[in-house]
């Protein structure tokens, strides 16, 4: 998914690129908490009946489920932000904060659209300048990559 | 100055590789299709192993008196047959189907946690080897039935029970990892446009099944651990002499055991809901009601466990509650059967092999459901309890229900998986051979059960001889039919008429509409758009 905003200060644009995500973070947390509640209820039911050894297994399992959901949701909740104005192009990647960032001069920026695989079925969009290039929108499908390439090119020309 | 450069085909990337060569492909694979195949083969091997044990049981019961095996060994056979069929055949088969189908049905490239997927499979062969090895240990294998009631499984159990406990733990860990993977995949990795209410019913039923697994597996782990501590660490959870209660064991076991039954049947509902519309050439009648019915069945499955224990001496109010709650389950189950029949109503029906198995499922699972209703009625169950009527009931649910649906799924999706059509004539022979023999096997057990023949005995009164002989003949024939099935499976994998991409005229869903037959090793690397 690609969101494009006009940056309020100056003459720039901001692209926010997100992978496909079929559940929001909030929905996932609600799902997890409800599951924990159910597991806790079952564990406590048996604990009050004297069968307390069910509870630690419930806890272990909920930890495993939580870890699994967190790890998979990190993959789908990552985002890439490309900010460009007449001077600079900034690429930032991360999940809840910026983990990696790159900066280029807009004047020398090149967008490379690489096709490979059977009949060019795979695409790779690379943005950069002077020998430093960064792949962008790795998780987008081909239609979305088309759109991103078109919009980026358009914005680079405008600024 | 900006430039857009379009290169020609440059290079193949890491993602495009096919499977590794040789045995290590299967050991190290993280591909959902490979792991699905491994699960399905393991389930088939376990079906044959558990089936061989059933043959020993039926051989001994062919005539009254003790002919072939010692009673202790007979009890080991009934125990391991049950455990292997439940944990080794039916559950892994459904997990195998989930591995193969869930990602390609929701448009995901793989399962969410592929490495964990590999571990969850590879734990199982070790668990089953450990379980089977108990047969060769001093004192023999577990002989207390698949329900492993205390104190038979604690105070009076052989030393090999510790290996049984460890094996159950391993199976549980595997099931939990599989369930977590299914949940994470379905929640996080659906293709754009694949909303929850657009998911195929197989995916829905598996999501609910995974949730059930998550909810009840700690109970199983807890109960076997308490067995272990009772046996070796001086606790008295289930020992009345130390202030514990053996009946509590039954409560804990069935709190796991009853949802476990639905774990083994809900994915079957999903399979039948995929097959019936295809061969009726009509959309599934009442999709939403099917989803809600599945969820209701899952919810109710937590509230009915004590209907397995009406005879332990619970208060009448308790019996009444569990009786009403049990009978309530027939409502959502009835909704499902009604919807399948309504889907077929005035459809352009054809009767290819998968449809025959699906119809067999609907009719015979309903028979199992009706006998379940009878068993759910507390005053009547007092007479039926622990008789062959119960054996007939749960085999109609698990063999003509769960197993028939798995076989139906094989015939339905194998052309997609392999790119080869199975031999239609052989498939139909397999169906009729299995259907006739399975009814010969299990239907007479209703009669001997009603007449009072207890389950789990190697010898019986002379009055039950004829029906037992018929049952054994049916059993041998059914067993042989599954060896014939093995031949069909191998023949289909090795070759056959090339399947089209859509395979069936009336098939719908991403796997039939957007993937070739067979699908590439890595499918949906680019997410499809779901309308």
Summarize pLDDT for B474-497 with one digit per residue, the tens. Answer: 999 999 999 999 999 999 999 989
Task: Name the DSSP class of B123.
Answer: H
- Say if residue A117's pLDDT is above 90: no
State whether A42 and B180 contact (CB < 8 Å): no
Q: Are B61 and B472 in contact (CB under 8 A)?
A: yes
Please, which pLDDT band fits residue B6 given cuts at 50, 70 and 90? very low
Q: Residue A50: CA atoms inside 13 Å, Cβ hemisphere, count?
A: 14
Residue B15 domain flag: no
- Residue B161, CA atoms < 13 Å, CB-side half-sphere: 25
Q: What is the structure's pLDDT at B4?
A: 47
Of residues B143, B118, B124, the one with CA closest to residue B53: B143
CA distance A137 to A134: 10
pLDDT of residue B525: 79
If we measure between CA atoms, which residue out of B224, B214, B216 comes closest to residue A63?
B214
- Strand arrangement of the beta sheet that strand A132-136 belongs to: A132-136, A122-129, A110-116, B3-6
Confidence class for position B1, pLDDT limits 50, 70, 90: very low
| Residue A129 Rama label (left phi>0; alpha psi -120 to 50; beta) | beta
Average pLDDT over residues B228-256: 94
Q: Has residue A3 got a pLDDT over 70?
A: no
Mean pLDDT check: name the lowest of A127-131, B8-12, B188-192: B8-12
Tell whether B293 is covered by a domain. yes
* Min distance A112 CA to chain B CA atoms (Å): 5
Q: Cα dihedral sign for B66, B152, B307, B51?
A: negative
Segment B13-32 shows an average pLDDT of: 78
Cβ–Cβ below 8 Å for B527 and A141? yes
Question: Quick one: pLDDT band at residue A95, thresholds 50, 70, 90?
Answer: confident
B365-B366-B371 Cα angle (round to 5): 100
B380-388: average pLDDT: 95
Residue B405 appears among annotated catalytic residues: no
Helices vs strands, H then E, count in chain B: 19, 1
Which of B2, B4, B217 is facing A113, going by the closest CB pair?
Answer: B4
Dig out the tokens for B225 from the structure: 């651990």
Identify which of B259, B254, B242, B57 has the alpha carbon closest to the alpha carbon of residue B151.
Answer: B242
| Total structural domains within chain B | 1
- Catalytic-residue membership of B175: yes
Residues for chain B: how many in total? 531
Closest CA to A70 of A17, A32, A97: A32
Question: What pLDDT is attached to residue B159?
Answer: 94
User: Which residues make beta-bridge pairs with B5?
Assistant: A112
A153 compared with B206, residue with greater pLDDT: B206
Task: For residue A145, count other CB atoms closer than 10 A to its CB.
Answer: 22
Question: For residues B194 and B181, what is the distance between their CA atoms, to the nearest angstrom?
Answer: 18
Task: Say if B153 falls within a structural domain.
Answer: yes
* Whole-angstrom distance, CA of residue B237 vs CA of residue B487: 49
Cβ within 8 Å, pair A117-B184: no
Confidence of residue B13 (pLDDT cuts 50, 70, 90): very low
Q: Where are the alpha helices (DSSP H) in B107-196?
A: 114-133, 161-188
Q: Is pLDDT above 80 for B29?
A: yes
Residue B356 or A84, more confident = B356
DSSP A94: E
> Which among B6, B8, B112 is the nearest to A72, CB-wise?
B112
The pLDDT-based confidence of B11 (bands split at 50, 70, 90) is very low
B260 in active site: yes
pLDDT tens-digit series, residues B167-224: 999 999 999 999 999 999 999 999 989 999 999 999 999 999 999 999 999 999 999 9
Please, what is the Cα angle at B290 between B288 and B293, to 5 degrees?
110
When pLDDT is averaged across residues B354-365 and rounded to a whole number, the result is 98
Does pLDDT of B396 surpass 70? yes
Of the residues B58, B308, B416, B430, only one is catalytic, namely: B308
Predicted pLDDT of residue A93: 92
pLDDT digits (tens, 9 = 90+) for B273-294: 999 999 999 999 999 999 999 9
Is the model more confident about B354 or about A49?
B354
Strands A88-94 and A98-105: antiparallel
What is the three-class DSSP state of A13? strand
Confidence of residue B529 (pLDDT cuts 50, 70, 90): confident
Average pLDDT over residues A80-106: 89
Q: What distance in Å separates the CA atoms of residue B77 and residue B458, rounded to the nearest whole number?
A: 10
Tens-digit pLDDT profile for residues B401-453: 999 999 999 999 999 999 999 999 999 999 999 999 999 999 999 999 999 99
Q: What are phi and psi of B372, to 5 degrees?
A: -65, -40
Residues 165-224 of B with CB under 8 A from A: 176-177, 180-181, 183-185, 187-192, 194, 211, 214-219, 221-223
Residue B21 lies in a domain: no
Q: How many CA atoms lie within 13 A of B273 on its CB side?
A: 31
Residue B364 has pLDDT above 80, yes or no: yes
Most A CBs within 10 Å, among B5, B182, B188, to test the A interface: B188
| H/E run at residue B262 | helix B246-263
Q: What is the pLDDT of residue A6?
A: 63
* Span B63-99, pLDDT tens digits: 999 999 999 999 999 999 999 999 999 999 999 999 9
Q: Given this model, what pLDDT does residue A118 score?
A: 65
Report the alpha-carbon distance of residue B409 to residue B273 in Å, rounded. 11
Q: Mind listing the pLDDT tens digit for each residue in B314-331?
A: 999 999 999 999 999 999
Helix then strand then coil, in percent of chain B rounded to 5, is: 70, 0, 30
Instruction: Output phi, psi for A126, to 5 deg.
Output: -125, 130
- Test A51 with B222 for CB contact under 8 angstroms: yes
The token duo for B484 is 């014939």
- How high is the pLDDT of residue A8? 56
The domain in which residue B375 lies consists of 26-513
Mutation site, A71, A72, A106, interface B, largest B CB count within 10 A: A72
Question: Which residues of chain A lie closer than 8 angstroms to B215, CB-CB?
Answer: 35, 38-39, 42
Provide Rg for chain A, Cα atoms. 22
Q: Is residue B526 situated within a structural domain?
A: no
* B410 in Cβ contact with B426 (< 8 Å): no
> A104, A129 in Cβ contact below 8 A?
yes
Confidence of residue A143 (pLDDT cuts 50, 70, 90): confident
Residue B24: which residues within 8 A CB-CB, separation 6 or more? none
Domain A2-19+80-158 fold is PH-domain like (2.30.29)
A1 falls in which pLDDT band (50, 70, 90)? Answer: low
DSSP H helical segments within B22-108, as ranges? Answer: 24-28, 32-61, 71-83, 91-106
Distance CA B238, CA B258 (A): 20
- For residue range B45-58, list pLDDT tens digits in order: 999 999 999 999 99
The pLDDT score that the predictor gives to residue A131 is: 83
- pLDDT band for A10, please (50, 70, 90 cuts): low
pLDDT of B2 strictly over 50: no
Q: Which pLDDT band, with edges at 50, 70 and 90, does A7 fall under? A: low
Taking the C-alpha atoms of residue B312 and residue B350, their distance in angstroms, rounded to an integer, is 49
Q: What pLDDT, on the 0 to 100 scale, is given for residue B444?
A: 98
Looking at residue B233, what is its pLDDT?
95
Q: Do A39 and B194 touch (CB under 8 A)?
A: no
Cβ-based neighbour number of residue B119 at 10 Å: 13
pLDDT, tens digit, 9 for 90 and up, residues A15-52? 898 888 889 889 999 999 999 999 999 999 999 999 99
Residue-level pLDDT at A9? 59
Q: What CATH number did the domain enclosing B136 receive?
A: 1.20.210.10
Q: Please name the helix (run of DSSP H) or strand (run of DSSP E) that holds residue A84, with its range, or none.
A: strand A79-84
- What is the reported pTM? 0.92
């Amino acid at each position: 998914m690609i969101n494009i905003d006009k940056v309020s200060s100056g003459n720039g644009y901001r692209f926010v690129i997100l992978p496909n995500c079929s559940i929001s973070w909030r929905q996932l947390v609600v799902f997890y908490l409800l599951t924990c509640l159910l597991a806790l209820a079952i564990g406590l039911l048996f604990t009050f009946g004297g069968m307390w050894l069910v509870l630690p297994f419930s806890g272990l399992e909920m930890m495993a489920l939580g870890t699994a959901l967190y790890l998979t949701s990190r993959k789908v909740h990552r985002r890439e932000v490309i900010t460009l104005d007449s001077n600079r192009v900034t690429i930032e990647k991360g999940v809840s904060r910026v983990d990696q960032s790159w900066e280029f001069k807009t004047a020398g920026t090149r967008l490379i659209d690489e096709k490979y695989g059977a009949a060019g079925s795979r695409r790779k969009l690379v943005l950069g300048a002077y020998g430093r290039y960064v792949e962008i929108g790795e998780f987008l499908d081909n239609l979305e990559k088309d759109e991103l390439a078109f919009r980026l090119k358009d914005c680079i020309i405008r600024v | 100055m900006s430039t857009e450069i379009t290169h020609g085909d440059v290079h193949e990337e890491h993602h495009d590789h096919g499977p590794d060569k040789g045995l290590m492909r299967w050991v190290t694979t993280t591909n959902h299709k490979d792991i699905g195949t491994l699960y399905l083969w393991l389930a088939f091997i376990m079906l044959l192993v558990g089936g061989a044990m059933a043959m020993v049981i039926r051989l001994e019961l062919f005539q009254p008196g003790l002919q072939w095996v010692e009673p202790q060994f007979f009890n080991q056979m009934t125990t391991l047959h049950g455990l292997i069929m439940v944990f080794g055949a039916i559950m892994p088969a459904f997990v195998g189907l989930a591995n193969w189908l869930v990602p390609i049905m929701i448009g995901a490239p793989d399962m969410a946690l592929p490495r964990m997927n590999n571990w969850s499979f590879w734990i199982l062969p070790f668990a089953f080897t450990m379980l089977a090895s108990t047969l060769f240990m001093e004192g023999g294998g577990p002989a207390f039935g698949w329900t492993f009631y205390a104190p038979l499984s604690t105070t009076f159990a052989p030393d090999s029970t510790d290996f049984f406990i460890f094996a159950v733990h391993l199976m549980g860990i595997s099931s939990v990892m599989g369930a977590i993977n299914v949940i994470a995949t379905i929640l996080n990795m659906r293709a754009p446009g694949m909303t929850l209410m657009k998911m195929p019913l197989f995916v829905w039923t598996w999501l609910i099944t995974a949730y059930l697994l998550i909810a009840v597996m700690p109970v199983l782990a807890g109960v076997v651990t308490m067995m272990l501590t009772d046996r070796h660490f001086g606790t008295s959870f289930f020992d009345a002499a130390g202030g514990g209660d053996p009946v509590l064991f039954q409560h804990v076991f069935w709190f796991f055991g009853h949802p476990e039954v639905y774990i083994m049947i809900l994915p079957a509902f999903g399979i039948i809901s995929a097959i019936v519309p295809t061969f009726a050439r009509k959309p599934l009648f009442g999709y939403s009601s099917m989803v809600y019915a599945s969820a209701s069945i899952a919810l109710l499955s937590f509230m009915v466990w004590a209907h397995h224990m009406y005879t332990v001496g619970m208060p009448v109010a308790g019996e009444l509650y569990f009786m009403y709650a049990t009978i309530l389950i027939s409502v959502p189950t009835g909704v499902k059967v009604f919807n399948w029949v309504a889907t077929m109503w005035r459809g352009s029906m054809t009767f290819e092999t998968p449809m025959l198995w699906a119809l067999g499922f609907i009719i015979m699972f309903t028979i199992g459901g009706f006998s379940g209703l009878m068993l759910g009625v507390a005053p009547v169950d007092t007479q039926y309890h622990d008789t062959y009527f119960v054996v007939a009931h749960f085999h109609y649910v698990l063999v003509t229900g769960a197993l028939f649906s798995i076989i139906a799924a094989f015939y339905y999706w194998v052309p997609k998986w392999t790119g080869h059509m199975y031999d239609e004539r052989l498939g139909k022979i397999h169906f009729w051979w299995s259907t006739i023999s399975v009814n010969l096997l299990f239907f007479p057990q209703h009669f001997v059960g009603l007449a009072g023949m207890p389950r789990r005995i190697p010898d019986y009164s002379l009055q039950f001889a004829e029906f037992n002989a018929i049952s054994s003949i049916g059993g041998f024939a059914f067993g042989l039919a599954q060896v014939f099935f093995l031949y069909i499976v191998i023949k289909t994998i090795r070759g056959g008429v090339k399947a089209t991409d859509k395979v069936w005229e009336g098939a719908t869903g991403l796997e039939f509409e957007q993937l070739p037959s067979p699908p590439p090793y890595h499918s949906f690397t680019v997410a499809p758009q779901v309308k």
